Copies of this chain bind each other. A is one copy, B any other.
Amino acid sequence: MVRTINENTVTDAVIEQMSGTSAPRFKEIMTALVRHLHEFGREVDLTAEEWLAAIRFLTAVGQKCTEHRQEFVLLSDTLGFSSLVNTLHDKRTSDEATKSSLLGPFYRQDAPVLKLGDSIVSESKGPEVVYYGQVTNAAGQGIPNALVQVWEPDETGNYDLQKLDPSVMDLRGRFRTDSEGRYYFRGICPTGYRIPMDGPVGDMIRAQRRHGYRPAHIHFIVGAPGYRELVTALYVAGDEHIDSDTVFGVSDSLVISVNPNDPASPIPNLPTVHYDFRLAAAAKSAAMSGRVGADPSQILQKAH
């Protein structure tokens, strides 16, 4: 017997055909995805021309991805979906912990290993700033030997991955906290920038008349055994795009100011940014990462 497929029955037909999925969580996710995707199609009464435009757009996004560029992460970011996943992560984590923010598409896992006090600058010319603070648990106790990964764009708003030779590393580093959980290093004053606008996501941003800018910020990943890895970023107060971040990463608790004259600085005679990171204890079952993002080359390696 052949069924009659119409705009309502097709959804159940798909869910029924997926009902044999062996992994329960995968089945749950795909069932919900199909339901919401179909509801979307019905609600807007999507035409074939619009469907084709979507296929072309998604294909272009995929073809734009390289080992140094992740256009799908950018799409997720600009649709607020990455930020949503971050907030869901924070909700599952202790309220005491530092909030997450976007990893973005410019993380690299093999940044240089540096000593406390070192500079992450190798080529850029921006004004020097000291970043320092303490990595603690929810009770405020310092965590020794925590891994602090940091990266930021240069004074023109470009990450090393966006340069002519993306194999050269600049403004990245990996540090270990001292016996009291303290970290300190030299970098440059954070710079705001426009997301890459030369791909299909840039076309979308223009069609939506969005400015496409992110407020000035510096990225951090902070982790230690027994704690949930914290993926976050610090945003500079007063930036003109602080309340209109095109990827929705700013949260009020992550806003910092540069202090031009800080007697408490571990490195004298430089402006400072002081921020303490508070880590949540790892979940009992598994120390799940909140890392919304990945090294572009890692994503591509896993692709077919």
Residues of B within 8 A of A255 (CB): 2
Q: State whether the Cβ of A36 lies closer than 8 Å to any Cβ in chain B.
A: yes
A123 within 8 Å of B (CB atoms):
no
Do residues A55 and B70 form an inter-chain contact, with CB atoms below 8 A?
yes
Given contacts A21-B208, A84-B41, contact A48 B290 (CB under 8 A): yes
Task: State how many angstroms separate the Cβ of A56 from the closest Cβ of chain B.
Answer: 5
Chain A, 36-54, contact with B by CB distance < 8 Å: what is the 0/1 string? 1111111111111111100
* Residues from chain B with Cβ under 8 Å of A42 in the complex: 84, 88
A114 within 8 A of B: no
Point out the residues of chain B lying under 8 angstroms from A85, CB to CB. 41, 46-48, 51
Assembly CA distance A40 to B88 (angstroms): 12
Closest B residue to A21 by CB, please name it. B208
CB of A164 within 8 Å of the partner chain? no
B63 and A304 within 8 A (CB): yes
Contact at B81–A199, with CB atoms within 8 Å? no
Interface segment, A149-157, A184-192, A239-247? A239-247
Cβ-neighbour of A304 out of B28, B73, B199 (below 8 A):
B199
A27 to B210 alpha-carbon distance, docked (Å): 12
